Structure 1
Amino acid sequence: MKVLYAHHPEDVKHYTTEKLRNEFLMENVFVEDQVTLTYSHVDRIIFGGIMPAQQKLALDAGRELAAAYFLERREAGVINIGGDGKVTLDGEEYEVKHKEGIYIGRGTKSVVFESNDPDKPAKFYLNSCPAHKSYPTVKIDLQKAIARPLGDEAAMNKRTIYQFIHPDVLETCQLSMGMTVLETGSGWNTMPCHTHERRMEVYLYFDMAEDTRVFHFMGQPQETRHLVVSNEQAVLSPSWSIHSGIGTRNYTFIWGMCGENQDFDDMDQVKMEDLR
């Protein structure tokens, strides 16, 4: 498990492109028959991919958590962006198909992932954060998620936000998670942009053609930076940073948040004239 420490915005101003990518971009999220995770000291989030093909994969605590099992003091959300698969929780099996998700509450001891077809492996994307209470496991599909159409063609940001793990769908300690689908001809997400000092965010970009790229903008509003992101790569966004992107074509991304609150609309909006 890769460990990332917190970053002061004044320090980030001096990062090279390579340093910026090393500290904020997870390039290889899905590796066949591996659990590939990043542990960030930003709100103690863990994010990454589980891609079972020829074998089942278990979620283990590892030395980084100093816990008896991964979810001893944590909760987790999982969304599958690959082939159909299964998640088995303490012996109970859940079918998690393409673009379906599952919330897993604190105290679940055994978490095992597998694919229905090894030739079309599942790609389970995971976000996990500390939890103070146990809430029930809930399976979420697109019908159960809250759909919020936003944007328009003129602004090149026509999209639908699907709120999978959200207070209006289910109870969690602090984790929120969902998926945003941009329509053909749209490329902008979250513009005009914002920050939210009370929680961090992490993005996974996917459903991108091989030659498609997203230019993910980050940094403080008055001194922005950018990362060039390929398909199935994830970006860490601290609370002080904007998190907005423009794609060479349309794409989909999963967003996950944890921190002080779960108010989706608690945003500090940035005026276009204030961006630098």
Structure 2
Amino acid sequence: MDIRQVSSPTETRGFDTRQLREAYLIETLFRPGEICMTYSHLDRTVIGGATPLSEALPLVANKQIGSPRFLDRRELGIFNIGGSGRIVVDGTEHELKRTDALYVPMGTAEVAFISDDAADPARFYFISTPAHAAHPLKKITAEDANLINLGTQSDANVRQLRQYIHPDVCTSCQLVMGMTLIADGSVWNTMPCHTHDRRTEAYLYFDMAADTRVIHLMGEPQETRHLIVANEQAILSPGWSIHSGTGTGRYGFIWSMAGDNQDFNDMDFVKMQDLK
């Protein structure tokens, strides 16, 4: 498990490209036959990717988790962005096709990831955050999610946002997750931008061609920085940072939030003229 310490706005202002990427970009999440995880001290969020082949991959705790079982004091949100697969939760299988999600509550003893076809494996992206209560397990499909249409063609930011793990759809302790898909011909996400100092956010960029890149904007509104992001790479976004991007081609992203509240609209908007 990779460990990421918290970097302050003051030190981030002086980071070069290598330091920015080491602090905020997760480059490798999906290795065939493995589970890859990053433990971020931003709200103690765990970001992971599981790519099972012919054998199931169990989710196990380690020193950073600090408890005998991974979900003794945590909750878990899982998205499948690959071939069809299954999540085994305490002996019960839950089928997840592409863009399906599963909320797994605190107190779950065993979780394992399975692909239906090793030649077309599932690619399970997951986020885990600390929890204080056990809520019902729930599978959420794209049709179950709360759909919000955003943007205009004239602003090149037409997109569909789906709230999956969200108070209106699925009860959780603090984890909120969803998926945004950018329409063909549009390039921008989350612009005009915002911050939310009460919550950490993470973005997984996906559904991209091999040579497509997203230019992800981050940093303080008056001290912006950028990261060049490839397919199936993730961004850590602290509460003081903007989080916005534009792509050279088709892309989508899975977003997650954790922190003091679950109010999706709790945002501090930044005027375009204030960006530097």
1:166 maps to 2:174: no
- Following superposition of structure 1 onto structure 2, how do residues 67-216 of structure 1 map, counting pairs within 5 Å? 67-216=67-216
1:267 maps to 2:267: yes
Query: Higher mean Cα deviation, 47-56 or 168-177?
Result: 47-56
Which ranges of structure 2 fall in alignment gaps of 5 or more residues? none
Q: Alpha-carbon deviations, 1:24-70, whole Å to 9, x = none? A: 10111101111101000000000020110121101011111121100
- Following superposition of structure 1 onto structure 2, how do residues 224-263 of structure 1 map, counting pairs within 5 Å? 224-263=224-263
Aligned residues: percent identity?
51
Contact 2:209/2:250 (8 A) holds in 1: no
CA distance in 1, matches of 2:179, 2:38: 20
Secondary structure (helix, strand or coil) at the match of 2:70 reads: coil
Secondary structure (helix, strand or coil) at the match of 2:155 reads: coil
RMSD: 0.5
CA distance in 1, matches of 2:144, 2:118: 28
Structure 1 residue 170: deviation in Å? 1.4
Residue in 1 that maps onto 2:46 = 46
Q: Alpha-carbon deviations, 1:229-275, whole Å to 9, x = none? A: 00000000000000000001121100000000000011000000000
Secondary structure (helix, strand or coil) at the match of 2:23 reads: helix
Q: Alpha-carbon deviations, 1:162-208, whole Å to 9, x = none? A: 10000000110000000000010111000000000110100000000
CA distance in 2, matches of 1:188, 1:33: 34
How many residue pairs end up in the alignment? Answer: 276
Residue in 1 that maps onto 2:24 = 24
Secondary structure (helix, strand or coil) at the match of 2:18 reads: helix
TM-score (norm 1): 0.99
Query: Higher mean Cα deviation, 51-60 or 216-225?
Result: 51-60
Which ranges of structure 1 fall in alignment gaps of 5 or more residues? none
